[in-house]
Chains A and B, each alone.
Chain A
Amino acid sequence: MPPIDPAIPPQEMSASYDPAILSYIQRAAADGLYEIRGLGAKRKIPHFDDLLLLGASMSRYPLEGYREKCATQTILGTRYAKKPIMLDMPITIAGMSFGALSASVKEALGRAASALGTSTTTGDGGMTEEERATSKILVYQCLPSRYGFCPDDLRRADAIEVVIGQGAKPGGGGMLLGQKINPRVAAMRTLPAGIDQRSACRHPDWTGPDDLTIKIQELREITDWEKPIYVKIGASRTYHDVKLAVHAGADVIVLDGMQGGTAATQQVFIEHVGIPTLAALRQAVQALEEMKMKDTVQLVISGGIRTGADVAKALAMGADAVSIGQGVLMAMGCNASTWTTPSGEPVDATGDYQTLGASPGTCHHCHTGHCPVGITTQDDVLEKRLSPSWAAHRVQNYLQTLNMELTTLARACGKNNVHHLEREDLVALTVEAAAMAGVPLAGTDWVPGSSTGR
């Protein structure tokens, strides 16, 4: 580094054209095509970190953190299904496709979920045998692309999730670049190996909520009304979308906020489309309460849930459960500097990150298929970097930790059941978060906009 010349005054950087925007313009000018990338939004937007829980003191009575019981059992799908889903914790694993993820990762997710008594979810690309065999409770997604969609699998599923949108890209379809399409992925999707697979942004056989009502009944008819039907919405016009999903007959609504991840989509979608998870959750709860459906239709929130505190705050705001995608990938080593051999030896992966133009902690290159730690890949050599048993153990530990943090926080708020957490237990740190979440600014009674509805 050259010595700083005191004769040259410090240079100012443009606020409008900072290094990120400069690099965006230069890349667009070079390629003439928008950028595709993985993971979720990179910029900071209001989130659960902007809320605080009010632990009990005089006006509330806390429970003993290490001794008194705090229930976590969660039941989803009580509206119509003959066989609702019974979970041991209100934390589930979100839908991620085989194709985006390797078969080993799908297997690991199934093992971890089963060990914890919770569910995992298929994704765009259908159900793999490994996933069905290892998952005690498996939610089967019905996606717009209908890649690998099969009535036999519908009947083998424990619940069905009609995916309408994803938080990272409401209104957008998926894109799995050809480098990730090995013969097995291609065969499941009925397409040649090695070509880009563009998933549709809308379902092929219904176009609006009234059609969806009949479509949901078709799924119920085929499965003899046994399985809960979830409807997954990407958060945007959440208040109205939730009301329409209830009208269409959903047993469970899965709401994915803009902090949610993706394997590959346009960068402009990830950063500029949809609304934050916090804001979406409040609107969804309001819609359910106004319809008097709050205890009839369950609400699962996803999109950047990372910690037990996030889970506790989401439940306090009115969610019945949360769903996690990116967090479990990170538990398996996404963005870590090493991968782990079957004998437990860490192996440095920084060189592989550099080859992708990334580094541990800044990687978002899932779309390339060259995941340095073997998670989002179909490459034989890279996939072997992730052992399903090691990965399952890590995910199990991670979700178990979240559940313990959740119960600790619930007890501190005086609850013997995590589902008794309530909005009354929350305050906001910022005016923005108070307005979005509909809770008072800390130290005041002020809920911005509380008298003006949504």
Chain B
Amino acid sequence: MERLTFDLHASSVREINQFLHQAVPEPGADLVTIEHPDGAHNLAVGLNAPWQVRIGGHVGYYAAGMNQEATITIAGNAGTGLAENMMSGRVHVRGFASNSAGASAHGGLLVIDGDAGLRCGISLKGADIVVGGSVGSFSAFMAQAGRMVICGNAGDALGDSLYEAVIYLRGKVASLGADAQEEKMQEADYEAVETLLRAAGSDYRHHDPRQFRRIASARKLYHWNADARHSY
């Protein structure tokens, strides 16, 4: 397989993104390695082809933002807005992720091996997110569609103002947000967790789907009404 390496000590973010905005030139020439990212912002954003991108360290804000089709692996930690508005493809962070990971993501799979900060999966619109560690407060805030699997714990107000997205939580939750409720796991939920853990990779094999709980919307805020006025 052909392998192309960029070194951020020698190339700029602009040059790398410009290169990755083209279609994959030929089968097998899709692997790109980025060395010395050193916390650079906006790395590998707006990709729209099935590139395999391996980033060899920590990245700054919005890494892999709006990804379509590409598979992006980050060896280190990621800053705010990781894989925000992702449409498809796969983004995998080996370390921790900061705030708003997977914000408003429509499709694809985001895997975070470490913990994720505040508002993970905020406004989620259909993507799947698997977090190996814990998530911060206001995670899945206003999440509309898609699934989140949290192997660790969750902070305050989990799933506040949730719509049709579903959260599977293994650990403890500090508090549920407005209109979020715990629901009984069904067979389809166990299957969904199993599938997502398998998709997240071999590090997730040891988790048992039966350890997870389901959190979804109570749907009391779906229609403007006086009975729920404390929640507006």
Contact = CB atoms under 8 A, between A and B. Distances in A.
Interface in B143-186: 144-145, 161, 163-164
Identify whether the interface residues of A are mostly helix, strand, loop, or mixed: loop
A205 B66 contact: no
Contacts of A196: 221-224
A150 B164 contact: no
A205 B81 contact: yes
A214 B224 contact: no
Contacts, number: 116
Contacts of A32: 226, 229
Interface string B63-98: 001101000000000001100110100000000000
Contact of A191 (B18, B41, B103, B164): B164
Interface stretch (B28-36, B120-128, B196-204): B120-128
Contacts of B221: 196, 198
Contact of B164 (A175, A192, A206, A224): A192
9 nearest A-B pairs in the assembled complex, by CB-CB distance: A222-B46, A205-B81, A146-B104, A204-B103, A151-B66, A195-B222, A205-B103, A205-B100, A204-B122
A380 interface: no
Identify whether the interface residues of B are mostly helix, strand, loop, or mixed: loop
Interface of B: 13-14, 17-18, 21, 41-42, 45-46, 48, 60-62, 65-66, 68, 80-81, 84-85, 87, 99-100, 103-104, 106, 119, 122-123, 125-126, 141-142, 144-145, 161, 163-164, 221-226, 229, 232
A41 B221 CA distance: 27
Interface string A138-153: 0000000110011110
Contacts of B223: 178, 195-196
Contacts of A175: 224
Nearest to A31: B226
A217 interface: yes
A211 B42 contact: no
A146 B103 CA distance: 9
A445 to B, nearest CB: 51
A151 B41 contact: no
29 contacts: A32-B226, A33-B224, A146-B85, A151-B66, A152-B68, A154-B66, A177-B224, A191-B145, A192-B164, A192-B222, A195-B223, A196-B223, A204-B100, A204-B103, A204-B104, A204-B122, A204-B123, A205-B62, A206-B80, A207-B99, A215-B62, A218-B42, A218-B81, A221-B14, A221-B46, A222-B17, A222-B46, A222-B66, A224-B18
A73 interface: no
A444 B160 CA distance: 57
A33 B229 contact: yes
A190 B80 contact: no
Interface string A193-205: 0011010100011
A342 to B, nearest CB: 35
B229 A190 contact: no
A222 B65 contact: yes
B21 A190 contact: no
Contact of B222 (A178, A189, A205, A221): A178
A6 B99 CA distance: 73
Contacts of A177: 224
Interface string A163-198: 000000000000101100000000001111001101
B61 A211 contact: yes
Interface of A: 31-33, 36, 145-146, 149-152, 154, 175, 177-178, 189-192, 195-196, 198, 200, 204-207, 211, 214-215, 217-218, 221-225
A149 B85 CA distance: 8
A78 to B, nearest CB: 20
B75 to A, nearest CB: 21
Contacts of A154: 46, 66
Contact of A150 (B106, B145, B225): B106
Nearest to B126: A190
Contacts of A205: 62, 80-81, 84, 99-100, 103-104, 122
Given A192-B164, A204-B103, A221 B13 contact: yes
A149 B103 CA distance: 12
Contacts of B42: 214, 217-218, 221
B45 A222 contact: yes
Contacts of B164: 191-192
B84 to A, nearest CB: 5
Nearest to B65: A218
A328 B40 CA distance: 44
Contacts of B48: 151-152
A149 B17 contact: no
A262 to B, nearest CB: 16
A11 to B, nearest CB: 34
